[in-house]
Structure 1
Amino acid sequence: MTGERSRGRLDKRAAILDAALRVFSREGYERASIDMIAAEAGVAKPTIYNHLGGKENLFRQIMIDAARETSATFLAALEGFPGDPGDAGSLRDGLLAVAPRLVGCFHRPESWALQRLLYAESVRFPDLYATVRANGAGQIADALAGRLARLGNAGLLEIADPDRAAGHFIALLTHELVARSELGNRTISAEEQDTAVAEGIDAFLRAYSPR
């Protein structure tokens, strides 16, 4: 019985956080209210206060949780990242195979919602950017830098600064799609994504292939 109660609390908490992300994304922080979130989640207003406190704490929690979820999804996709391919041709093929899954981590509805909210509320919560980055983009960049450093040590890439190379890799894969999708407000076709990903990989390899 205790286990069922605990699971029920976790399920209710997850439902509140999911509802809060939808409401904050739709209304913005200023217009969103605990009443709206309670209605969206199908719970009583006091339940939200009992589980997650007030509006500000709830907003901070959904931002951190969304960042952690994006990071976990990216790290899982990174398992397919090439380790020590035999030649430059297979390295390109390996990067092309994993890159769409990596890009997809940044183009999920939850990821777009996180980015839009973070930009929109950066003045109201100036400390939140660093916290969200530490739980999301920072972990992603560190993991990717490690994989790229391994390729550099194998002589397949020429990398002096793995952290900077990781930033370049992510930017080359995602920047064009961010602009084309208008921060997730426009659907990107599979053909557009494939073209942008291939061009990003080729640009990265031109920059970092051994001279």
Structure 2
Amino acid sequence: MSHPEAAAATPAQPSPRLRPDKHAAIMAGGRAVFARDGYARASIDAIATASRVSTRTIYKHFADKTALFAAVLINSATQVAAAETALVERHLSTVATAEGVEPALRAFATEWLNDAGDWLIGMPDSAAHRALVAQVRAEAGHLGTEVVSTWWQAGAGRVRVELAEVFARWAERGFLSITDPDRAAVHFSRLVSATPGAPASPITPEERAGWITDGVALFVRGYKP
């Protein structure tokens, strides 16, 4: 079903006629249902029930399930990126010496990751967000490159930019020797999130801390001036 009202709204923004509280409710309900049921099985009826709105309200502001899914993805990515960039600011923005780089990166990575190497485990709805991320990979062809690109820029891409900007400042101050801050941001993320064994293999908090410590040490050593 398609409605002309939906054409005026981008996936990341509510229609001008949709109240902010209704938009927030639909995004939360959509995130819960898509994360639980997956894109293919999720229904507009179930999302309307979870959101405590009518199906008519949803169809009035979102052209179809794909448009709603795209909006939910981008909304969730934006919220998670805001929490992650706040961690970057809290742990990394005040580093004043080269000696402060390694402990700051360890503290940041410790709060950024859970024991299994997943991101922001303590954030509300982080598990649902990770379920949505897995679905993006499965539905990328259906969503289209524009939606996937917008989702990436709103979420993980934004966090990578923030990290790269920190690393560029540190390079300017002589703390690290970095010529490509974007690549350094990828290196750091991969090193600290590395996990032995199969994906989601259980490890203890102590083992996770060890992987973070070793990953940060390798990163600092690799970019040492």
Residue in 2 aligned with 1:197? 212
- What residue in structure 2 maps to residue 75 of structure 1? 85
Cross-structure match for 2:127: 109
RMSD value, Cα: 2.5
List alignment gaps of at least 5 residues for structure 1: 1-5
Paired residue for 1:123? 141
Q: Distance in 2 between matches of 1:72 and 1:178?
A: 31
Which SS does the other structure have where 2:143 is aligned? coil
Once the two structures are TM-superposed, the CA of residue 157 in structure 1 deviates from its matched residue by: 0.8
Equivalent-residue separation in structure 1 for 2:198 and 2:92 (angstroms): 25
1:15 to 25, 38, 41: 25
Instruction: Give the superposition deviation at 1:110.
Output: 3.7
* Residue 107 of structure 2: aligned partner: 97
Go from structure 1 to structure 2 and tell me whether the alpha carbon gap of 1:177 and 1:46 turns closer, same or farther (over 3 Å shift).
farther
Q: What is the distance in 1 between the residues matched to 2:218 and 2:108?
A: 16
Instruction: Return the match for 1:139 from 125, 144, 158.
Output: 158
- The 3 A distance-change label for structure 1 pair 18 and 174 is same
The equivalent position to 1:156 in structure 2, one of 171, 175, 189, is 175
Q: Distance in 1 between matches of 2:95 and 2:22?
A: 45
Query: What is the CA–CA distance in structure 2 between the aligned matches of 1:69 and 1:113, rounded to whole Å?
Result: 15
| 1:85 match: secondary structure | coil
Could you say which residue in structure 1 is the equivalent of 2:56?
46
8 Å contact kept, 2:164–2:182: yes
Question: Percent identity over the alignment?
Answer: 34
Asked if the contact 2:164/2:184 (under 8 Å) is kept, the reply is yes
**Counterpart Cα distance in 2 of 1:132 and 1:178:** 29
Structure 1 residue 16 displacement after superposition = 1.6
Q: What's the TM-score once normalised by structure 1's chain length?
A: 0.82
Q: Which structure 2 residues correspond to residues 53-68 of structure 1 after superposition, within 5 A?
A: 53-68=63-78
Shift of 1:76: 0.8
Q: More helix per residue: 1 or 2?
A: 1
Could you state the TM-score of these two structures normalised by the residue count of structure 2? 0.78
Q: Which consecutive unaligned segments of at least 5 residues does structure 2 have?
A: 1-15
Q: How far 1:180 moved relative to its partner? A: 4.5
Distance in 1 (CA, whole Å) between partners of 2:112 and 2:69 is 26
Q: Is the 8 A contact 1:177 1:193 kept in 2?
A: no
Task: String of CA shifts for 1:81-105, please: whole Å, max 9, x gaps.
Answer: 15443343x3211211222223364
Query: Matched residues in 2 for 1:40 and 1:159: separation?
Result: 47
Task: Look up the equivalent residue of 1:122 and give its one-letter code.
Answer: A
Q: Distance in 1 between matches of 2:174 and 2:168?
A: 10
